[in-house]
Amino acid sequence: SQQGEEDPQALSIQEGENATMNCSYKTSINNLQWYRQNSGRGLVHLILIRSNEREKHSGRLRVTLDTSKKSSSLLITASRAADTASYFCATDGRGGADGLTFGKGTHLIIQP
Amino acid sequence: GAVVSQHPSRVICKSGTSVKIECRSLDFQATTMFWYRQFPKQSLMLMATSNEGSKATYEQGVEKDKFLINHASLTLSTLTVTSAHPEDSSFYICSASAGSGETQYFGPGTRLLVL
């Protein structure tokens, strides 16, 4: 089964607006992470939220985690053109010592 | 955040040759390193997990004899794609972690093109 599925798959908004991306997963997790990937480049770690946390902030980023619904959301406030990228959630549902399971990602486009 | 490097960043090779990709953690000791593969417009898929001094653990469907992984030190892991074929062309990304449950820091990736 697919772990960490994001929606929407693509999102286009105007600069200055807020962008919300959602992620769902199927198994128990220790933590959930969000990453950004610019086209053809490596991953940039954005934020990690542990299973006992419900909300976390980092700059313009706000992440929520609802373990009862097995879902997470990433909110980017006051979006900028430089935020254009693909965003992936990733879970570590096998004890934390194993690799991450990535969702399919949301491709975010910020229109200037 | 911690820095992970990969070398080379891009490689083109002929079918049948072997290619080695290095992954280094530059400012921390990585007890565990992971190798992922990403095909165009797709997400990352875990290939294998390697712990320093141990044999790598491969995900289902990943051929261990084709993708050789060596993690000889706490700062270096290598992935060797043996007898590469065009279908092995992909973006290979490594990550490193200082411990169980800790953040994984990703390298910039290596784009492999097999002709």
Beta strand B10-13 pairing with B4-7? unpaired
Give the model confidence (pLDDT) of A1-53 as tens digits: 235 567 788 999 999 999 999 999 988 888 899 999 998 788 988 999 999 99
Q: What is the helix, strand, coil percentage profile of chain B, to 5?
A: 5, 55, 45
Give the model confidence (pLDDT) of A43-89 as tens digits: 988 999 999 999 999 999 999 999 999 999 999 999 999 999 999 99
At residue A1, the pLDDT reads: 29
Cβ contacts (< 8 Å) between A30 and chain B: which residues? 101
Peptide bond preceding B8 in cis form (omega within 30 of 0): yes
Cβ contacts (< 8 Å) between B112 and chain A: which residues? none
Q: Do A99 and B107 touch (CB under 8 A)?
A: no
Q: Do A104 and B105 touch (CB under 8 A)?
A: no
Q: Is residue A97 scored above 60 in pLDDT? A: no
List per-residue pLDDT tens for chain B, 115 residues long.
679 999 999 999 999 999 999 999 998 898 899 999 999 888 999 999 998 888 899 999 999 999 999 988 899 999 999 999 999 999 999 999 887 667 788 999 999 999 9
For chain A positions 38-97, those within 8 Å of chain B (CB to CB) are 40-45, 48, 88, 90, 92, 95-97
* Cα–Cα distance measured from residue B52 to residue B59, given in angstroms and rounded to the nearest whole number: 18
Q: List the single residue in B93, B100, B101 with the smallest CB-CB distance to A43.
A: B93
Which is nearest to B99 in space by CA: B23, B27, B35, B32? B32
Min Cα separation A95/chain B (Å): 7
Beta strand A71-76 pairing with A31-37? unpaired
Q: How many helices (H) and strands (E) does chain B have?
A: 0, 11
> A54 near A107, Cβ under 8 Å?
no
